Amino acid sequence: MSIKRRILFYTFVIIFLILAPLISLYSIGYRLNGKFKIWQLTGKLTIISKPDGAMVYINGKPQRKLINKFFLKKEYLTTPVKIDNLLPGKYNLKLKKNGYITWQKKINIKSGINTVIKNVQLFKNSLPLLLKSGKYSHISFLNNKKIIISNSNKIDILNIENNQIKTLAKTNSIVSRHILSNAYPLLTEKINDYSLSANNQYIIIFSKKNNYIIKLTNFSKFKKLTAFKKRNFCWDLVKNNIFYYKKDNKIYQLSINNNFLITSRQIKIKNNNAQIINFLAKNNNLYIIVKKKNNLKLIQYDISLPQIKQKKAIELPFCNSYQLILYNKDSENNLINIYNPSYQMLNLIDLNRIFFPPIRKTINNIKYFKWIDKNNMLYNNDYEIWIYNLKNNNQILITRDSNIIEKSILYPLKNYIIYNTKNSLKIIELVDNEEKRNIEKLCKFDKIYSPLLSNDGKKIYFLGSIGKEDGLYELNIK
């Protein structure tokens, strides 16, 4: 073998010995980290979004397949997608799709691990649509197709499918009996508020001198009731046709039959001259908070029989000046929720406890709350949103905001929370073990209040104003 051939042979051998381990490392996912001048095992990134078809940007650069980079093709990666051979470290990830709000987040890629970003919901970048102009103070769902909006002069029902309005009650000194083929009560005084029964079959309207009850399946069926204030009233949380009110420190039960006839009976309890502060009815149980001198008690009565029977009674922490609110309509855990709005304090009462104190948990600094399920409660104060887990007895901070938070709503899939400040609607994702949760601004107004989310999570309805245009708005987000 000539010297030239030997040199060529040994050169190829040396090149092979150098490249073989490099190629082997490359084939199993190792890459050279130019920053640290070392070889590192790469990681993978899998992204799934709804809807799919979102372009993927990493550190501001749109991602392409290796073969497209080689041939300079402008064919970019879109979700769902799996990206291989990413060096370990932190990256800025963005998902962009026409007509949708850009989703972005900092992610951490680890060696040898496939980081999965799933359940990413892209929300539409749309403008709110004015459904009904006017200054309204209250809003609530009647069902999936209808919304109740009200002010001091009238109560309207809006069909959100065809945008038709029906007037339920109106303040008017001129007697006009029909509107849109439906009779409705004419009030000579301002409307203060209203309350819906358990399955929204009945509504009670509160005014200064008189109250009215209307059957919502037939607007022509309405009756004038004895005047009582909303704070002295409650619907039965189970029985749709029964409600209660307090007058002269006595509690009355009113029942509505199929012919819209209302019968009344006094719930005769022995309160020993104690003042009735608040009460709640659920099926055959009546819960009453009474005050005598410097003592507060929560008493449970069985009202299924003519002879009222006291079942349980517990002492409550006393406070000189505050209103206790009994509340457990949305909870499936049978806890009695006693809220103190003056001190923004919530007591969770378990009357079935025998060997432990009945006050199961006290949560302070709480402004708005709603049970998500029997174990989890979503709540917020002015600047924070929390989730309390009853089973584990722990509280998880979701986010803080520099603006005052008015209300928080759980998204139907339980992976996002929508909340509003005075002039904006925002949405935050719920992902476990994240250093920072992704927050997106859905819209900004001069004023936003009382947002409602449709059951399918596609639309948000809210009362708001922009410029000089007040009214009910609809925001399509999905």
For the ranges 140-144, 367-371, 410-414, 436-440, the lowest mean pLDDT is seen at 436-440
66 in Cβ contact with 74 (< 8 Å)? no
Cα 27 from Cα 15, distance rounded (Å): 18
pLDDT of residue 250: 92
Cα 319 from Cα 75, distance rounded (Å): 68
* Residue 252 predicted with pLDDT over 90: yes
* Residue 69 predicted with pLDDT over 70: no
Most confident among 70-79, 243-252, 431-440 (mean pLDDT): 243-252
Position 176 confidence tier, pLDDT thresholds 50, 70, 90: very low
Across residues 216-236, what is the average pLDDT?
A: 84
The percent of residues in the chain predicted with pLDDT above 70, rounded, is 82
Write down the mean pLDDT value for the chain: 84
Fold of the domain spanning 42-121 = Immunoglobulin-like (2.60.40)
Cα 472 from Cα 462, distance rounded (Å): 6
Q: Which amino acid belongs to residue 261?
A: L
Q: Which amino acid belongs to residue 94?
A: K
pLDDT of residue 317: 82
Category of 344 on φ-ψ map: left (φ > 0), alpha (ψ -120 to 50) or beta: left
Task: Report pLDDT digits (tens) over 370-422.
Answer: 998 889 999 999 999 999 999 999 999 999 999 999 999 999 888 899 999 99
Residue partners of 171: CB distance under 8 A and separation at least 6: 152, 153, 154, 186, 187, 188, 189, 190, 191
* Residue 74 predicted with pLDDT over 90: no
pLDDT of residue 38: 63
Q: Which residues pair with 267 in a beta bridge?
A: 251
For the ranges 38-47, 225-234, 382-391, the lowest mean pLDDT is seen at 38-47
pLDDT of residue 179: 36
Q: Which of 257, 241, 239, 253 has the alpha carbon at shortest distance from 202?
A: 241
- What are the boundaries of each domain within the chain? 42-121, 228-335
pLDDT of residue 374: 86
Position 212 confidence tier, pLDDT thresholds 50, 70, 90: confident
Cα 29 from Cα 104, distance rounded (Å): 26
Task: Report pLDDT digits (tens) over 271-283.
Answer: 778 899 889 998 8
Encoding tokens for residue 358?
């009945």
